[in-house]
């Protein structure tokens, strides 16, 4: 069975969640890989179109394969979407992939009757093979139905040569001009944080070469893009590679860019590397702090010391980065006093923002096991994963450290701290703008009111030059230019 027309579908995430500001990288990679194999590829973000528009798109594209990307978060909504898609295109087959499938495998086929296939792990090769008509039994990571019996083709190994992948393409998404371009320069994470579900990309860290990363940056740069976001979990794990990326950005003259990096581990940066990054255009860094002291970091198996985190945040703010900090509220054994430590640290340095997440245990993580053993779930995962919004503040479990009331108090306290931090940042930004404007007004002389800044700058330049030459003549110094 071959598939020639594929519609990639991103489900909607109703409610208050982290919103995507840039195109989805996973979809971009899948589209590029299918395109390279000659498969016609389209994409739609169900969160960005009305149900009627979604249906119109499905009918217009008339795909023979619908490929739905799934996170565990809101998974029941994704299953409903699959059922709706089946109704819109009864003749098409449907395949699911993404973190939810990597975590639950065959269970996804069991729970979602309308699904024909599910692919675990990275989809570039497996989805292509499925479309090319490879026998399902030999497509790595593929779960499929064979005469009513569910079968698994075997584990999908992680891609090692990431440089060999074509750059992601977003043309099929018809996004208009995206706010920023996301870049994924490495995959996988060797750390063992107990709250994180990072099985999707594996424990082995795999990286693209500095040249290949810069090639992609330059590719987007030449198309006029200037805002970039690295979405890696561990952008700076290999120090030499990070310096290499900075060198390439500089060597290729990619100036006037602003780059953000969400996944930077504090113990993997120092002043030298941060300074280098700042100089070539990195402007925004996010650090996962999670807890306010070493005791909590140890419980979370964060694998770094609080001193390392503090040093990185101090350096980054001194170097003028916009810094966002991420904390968890309600970690195992965390007390109200520990949460106060988090709040004190969040307010200590001039950061741009600090997020305090109400810890939402994801199945498959150590935190979930801990709760089952030592605490008490206040709501069942299948409920809160499907009806709780990311920013809701009702505690989902309790355990030694904090009961329900303390958790509510802790979340309220962190909300207040965040308001203060954001207000402080707005004030600082307003002050900086005021200074900038005053300087600009000082540069543009009175004539600036009657002509363009360029003309007034030229006027100022000539006047200054004339003044310097007059001064030189008076002092008997010869000035030439």
Using CB under 6 A as the criterion, which residues of the chain lie in contact with ligand B12 when the complex forms?
Answer: 13, 17-18, 20, 24-26, 29-30, 67-69, 71-73, 95-100, 103, 119, 122-124, 127, 184, 196-198, 200-201, 231, 233, 362, 390
Q: Is 386 a binder of ligand SF4 (CB under 6 A)?
A: no
> Measured in whole angstroms, how far is the alpha carbon of residue 173 from the centre of its chain?
18
Identify which of residues 136 and 330 has a Cβ nearer to ligand SF4 in the complex.
330
Identify which of residues 57 and 234 has a Cβ nearer to ligand SF4 in the complex.
234
Q: Which DSSP helix (H) or strand (E) runs through 131?
A: helix 124-131
CB of 193 to ligand SF4, least distance (A): 3
Of 57, 72, 156, 191, which one interacts with ligand SF4 (CB under 6 A)?
191
Query: What Cα–Cα distance (Å) separates residue 327 from each residue in 148, 186, 343, 421?
Result: 46, 24, 9, 14
Identify which of residues 216 and 247 has a Cβ nearer to ligand B12 in the complex.
216
Q: Which region, judged by CB under 6 A, interacts with ligand SF4, from 126-134, 189-197, 323-331, 419-427?
A: 189-197
Q: For residues 261-280, which are near ligand SF4 according to CB under 6 A?
A: 265
Binding at 20: pick from ligand B12, ligand SF4, none (beta carbon under 5-8 Å per type):
ligand B12
> Measured in whole angstroms, how far is the alpha carbon of residue 332 from the centre of its chain?
26
Residue 254 DSSP one-character state: -
Query: What Cα–Cα distance (Å) separates residue 296 from each residue in 253, 303, 346, 364, 400?
Result: 44, 11, 15, 20, 13
> Measured in whole angstroms, how far is the alpha carbon of residue 304 from the centre of its chain?
21
Query: What Cα–Cα distance (Å) separates residue 131 from each residue in 90, 98, 113, 124, 388?
Result: 18, 17, 21, 11, 36
Q: Kindly write down the DSSP assignment for every residue of 26-53, as one continuous string.
A: HHHHHHHHHHHTT-EEEEEETTTS-HHH
CB of 72 to ligand SF4, least distance (A): 15
| Alpha-carbon gap, residue 132 to 427, rounded angstroms | 57
Binding at 193: pick from ligand SF4, ligand B12, none (beta carbon under 5-8 Å per type):
ligand SF4
- Cα-Cα-Cα-Cα torsion 268, 273, 275, 281, nearest 10 degrees, comes to -90
CB of 30 to ligand B12, least distance (A): 6
CB of 350 to ligand B12, least distance (A): 24
- Cα-Cα-Cα-Cα torsion 54, 31, 135, 82, nearest 10 degrees, comes to -20
| Alpha-carbon gap, residue 280 to 16, rounded angstroms | 34
CB of 300 to ligand SF4, least distance (A): 8
Identify which of residues 31 and 103 has a Cβ nearer to ligand SF4 in the complex.
103
Q: Which region, judged by CB under 6 A, interacts with ligand SF4, from 159-167, 178-186, 193-201, 431-439?
A: 193-201
CB of 327 to ligand SF4, least distance (A): 12
Identify which of residues 123 and 332 has a Cβ nearer to ligand B12 in the complex.
123
Sign of CA dihedral 46, 48, 51, 55: negative
Q: Kindly write down the DSSP assignment for every residue of 49-100, as one continuous string.
A: S-HHHHHHHHHHH--SEEEEE--STTHHHHHHHHHHHHHH-TTSEEEEESHH
Contact between 246 and 280 under an 8 Å Cβ cutoff? The reply is yes
| Alpha-carbon gap, residue 16 to 390, rounded angstroms | 6
Of 28, 98, 202, 288, which one interacts with ligand SF4 (CB under 6 A)?
288
CB of 146 to ligand B12, least distance (A): 19
At 5 the three-state DSSP class reads: strand
Identify which of residues 33 and 194 has a Cβ nearer to ligand SF4 in the complex.
194
Binding at 26: pick from ligand SF4, ligand B12, none (beta carbon under 5-8 Å per type):
ligand B12
Q: Which region, judged by CB under 6 A, interacts with ligand SF4, from 43-51, 56-64, 70-78, 192-200?
A: 192-200
At 479 the three-state DSSP class reads: coil
Residue nearest to ligand B12 as judged by C-beta position: 97
Binding at 184: pick from ligand B12, ligand SF4, none (beta carbon under 5-8 Å per type):
ligand B12
| Alpha-carbon gap, residue 277 to 289, rounded angstroms | 20
Binding at 201: pick from ligand B12, ligand SF4, none (beta carbon under 5-8 Å per type):
ligand B12
CB of 8 to ligand B12, least distance (A): 7
Binding at 191: pick from ligand SF4, ligand B12, none (beta carbon under 5-8 Å per type):
ligand SF4
Q: Is 64 a binder of ligand SF4 (CB under 6 A)?
A: no
Q: Give residues in contact with ligand SF4 (CB under 6 A).
A: 189, 191, 193, 196, 198, 233, 265, 288
């Amino acid at each position: 069975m071959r598939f020639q027309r594929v519609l990639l579908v991103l489900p909607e995430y109703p409610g208050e969640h982290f919103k995507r500001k840039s195109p989805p990288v996973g979809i971009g990679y899948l589209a590029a890989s299918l395109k390279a194999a000659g498969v016609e590829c389209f994409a739609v973000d169900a969160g960005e179109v009305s149900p009627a528009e979604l249906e119109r798109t499905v009918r217009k594209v008339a795909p023979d394969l619908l490929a739905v990307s799934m996170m565990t978060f809101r998974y029941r909504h994704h299953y409903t979407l699959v059922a709706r898609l089946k109704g819109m295109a009864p003749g098409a087959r449907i395949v699911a992939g993404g973190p939810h499938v990597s975590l639950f495998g065959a269970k996804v086929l069991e729970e979602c009757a309308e699904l024909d296939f599910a692919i675990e792990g990275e989809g570039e090769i497996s989805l292509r093979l499925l479309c090319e008509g490879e026998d399902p039994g030999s497509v790595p990571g593929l779960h499929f139905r064979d005469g009513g019996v569910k079968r698994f083709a075997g584990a999908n190994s992680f891609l090692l040569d990431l440089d060999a992948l074509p750059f992601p393409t977003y043309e099929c998404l018809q996004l208009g001009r995206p706010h920023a371009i996301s870049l994924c320069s490495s995959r996988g994470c060797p750390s063992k944080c107990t709250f994180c579900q990072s099985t999707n990309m594996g424990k082995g860290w795999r990286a693209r070469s500095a040249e290949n990363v810069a090639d992609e940056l330059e590719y987007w740069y030449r198309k006029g893009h200037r805002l970039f976001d690295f979405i890696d979990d561990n952008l700076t794990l290999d120090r030499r590679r990070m310096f290499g990326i900075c060198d390439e950005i500089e060597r290729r003259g990619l100036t006037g860019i602003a780059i953000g990096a969400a996944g930077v581990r504090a113990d993997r940066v120092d002043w030298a590397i941060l300074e280098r990054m700042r100089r070539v255009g990195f402007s925004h860094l996010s650090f996962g702090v999670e807890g306010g002291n070493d005791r909590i970091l140890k419980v979370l198996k964060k694998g770094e010391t609080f001193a390392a985190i503090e040093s990185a945040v101090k350096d980054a703010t001194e170097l003028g980065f916009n810094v966002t900090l991420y904390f968890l509220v309600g970690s195992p054994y965390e007390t109200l006093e520990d949460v106060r430590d988090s709040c004190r640290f969040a307010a200590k340095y001039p950061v741009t923002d600090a997020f305090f997440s109400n810890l939402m245990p994801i199945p498959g993580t150590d935190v979930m096991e801990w709760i089952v053993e030592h605490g008490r779930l206040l709501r069942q995962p299948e409920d809160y994963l499907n009806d709780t919004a990311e920013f809701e503040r009702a505690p989902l479990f309790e355990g030694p450290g904090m009961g329900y009331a303390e958790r509510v108090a802790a979340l309220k306290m962190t909300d207040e701290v965040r308001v203060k931090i954001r207000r402080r940042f707005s004030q600082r930004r307003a002050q900086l703008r005021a200074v900038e404007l005053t300087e600009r007004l000082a540069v543009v002389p009175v004539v600036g009111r009657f002509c363009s800044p360029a003309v007034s700058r030229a006027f100022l330049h000539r006047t200054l030059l004339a003044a310097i030459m007059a001064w030189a003549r008076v002092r008997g110094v010869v000035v030439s230019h």
